[in-house]
Amino acid sequence: MVYFITGNQNKLKEVQAIISGVEGIEMDLPEIQSLDPQEIITEKLKEAVKEKEGSYFVEDTALYLDCLNGFPGPLIKWFLDRLGNKGIYDLVSNYENHNVVVKAVVGYSNGQDIHFFVGEVKGSIVAPRGESDFGFDPIFLPDGHDKTFAEMSSEEKNKISHRQQALMKFKEFLDKHG
Amino acid sequence: MVYFITGNQNKLKEVQAIISGVEGIEMDLPEIQSLDPQEIITEKLKEAVKEKEGSYFVEDTALYLDCLNGFPGPLIKWFLDRLGNKGIYDLVSNYENHNVVVKAVVGYSNGQDIHFFVGEVKGSIVAPRGESDFGFDPIFLPDGHDKTFAEMSSEEKNKISHRQQALMKFKEFLDKHG
């Protein structure tokens, strides 16, 4: 059994739609400060394995704004908490460069090694459009598209999203080695 | 013996000038993501005591920008890392409100309870002026003064600084209970 450590039911559903047989588990793990998702994930998986033997994976999302030299990265959660989508859009509007990279990193531990699977989408920050359960989706316009992630259907979004890319790579790995 | 957990030699010197007999110690403790310094400190002290019995204290600094609704708080380290003082000044210049609160929190654990000591200074963000060993000092102009923290002598700064206020409160506590 592979456990997905998360407290986010939306993410759990998204994962279970791709990788069958995954169970969700809530664990109170330290989320360390870093601009590198792999560092944050490594600390979490180490703690998880210490608490209870097993195979676990976690996912972390980062948003790198060109105009802020890559900030906030994995600290996006707090940035969004304080500014909201409108506030982030207003901030970015003050700069010429509205480019952004969103990144999902899945980290998997079988108790011995840690493997990482990365998905990445380039785009730009736009005024909020569409409703969404996922944080910054209303202000993220992927390059080559005219809808924000929040305006797309799940099917449309899943074809290109950072999280889906990372999860598909992870699924391939599990199919081969799991 | 009371140990000050830090990897920062500047902070250690500042502390030893106020509280005699303090020893510095480097410990690799998890620094969790939070906008609340007390949460971050609590996690660190819990881990420190787990690793090795003793009396420890740590200090955390936060910078709350009015224009970003209190962001970045204790995440200032990463904000500064990506933007630098000039970048933070440029960002804040885009807003009308340049007000900021800087806060130092000292957390002390004797192995049983945790006590907190807080120092706070109100001011505004200005174009960088002066040289400094301490992160945002060149862009922090305390209210009622015409020099940034970086332009002040140590003596001038120590009379009003957030860290000194927190440390003086801690020193009083130690004198009474230590």
ipTM of the complex: 0.92
Check residues B57 and A1 and name the one with the higher pLDDT. Answer: B57
Closest CA to B60 of B161, B175, B166: B166
How, if at all, do strands A23-25 and A72-73 pair?
unpaired
Domains of chain B, by residue range, sit at 2-177
Chain B closest CA to A100's CA: distance in Å? Answer: 15
Contact between B71 and A94 using a beta-carbon 8 Å cutoff? no
What does DSSP assign to residue B32?
B
Whether omega before B142 lies within 30 degrees of 0, making that bond cis, reads no
Contact between A32 and B31 using a beta-carbon 8 Å cutoff? yes
Closest CA to A126 of A100, A152, A160, A144: A100
Within 8 A by CB and 6+ apart from A175, the residues are none
- At residue A168, the 3 state secondary structure works out as helix
Share the mean pLDDT of chain A.
95
What's the CATH number of domain B2-177, 2.40.160.100, 3.90.950.10, 3.90.1150.30, 2.130.10.10? Answer: 3.90.950.10
CB-nearest partner of A69 from B72, B75, B82: B82
Q: Is pLDDT above 80 for A178?
A: no
* Separation CA A177–CA A117 (nearest Å): 14
Task: Find how far residue B78's CA is from the centre of its chain.
Answer: 14
A83 contacts on B by Cβ (under 8 Å):
68-69, 71
pLDDT at B178: 63
Is A62:A103 a contact under the CB 8 Å cutoff?
yes
Q: Is pLDDT above 70 for A134?
A: yes
The model carries a pTM of 0.93
Q: How many CB pairs under 8 A join A and B?
A: 60
Mean pLDDT of A57-83: 97
Contact between A78 and B70 using a beta-carbon 8 Å cutoff? no
Mean pLDDT of A63-77: 98
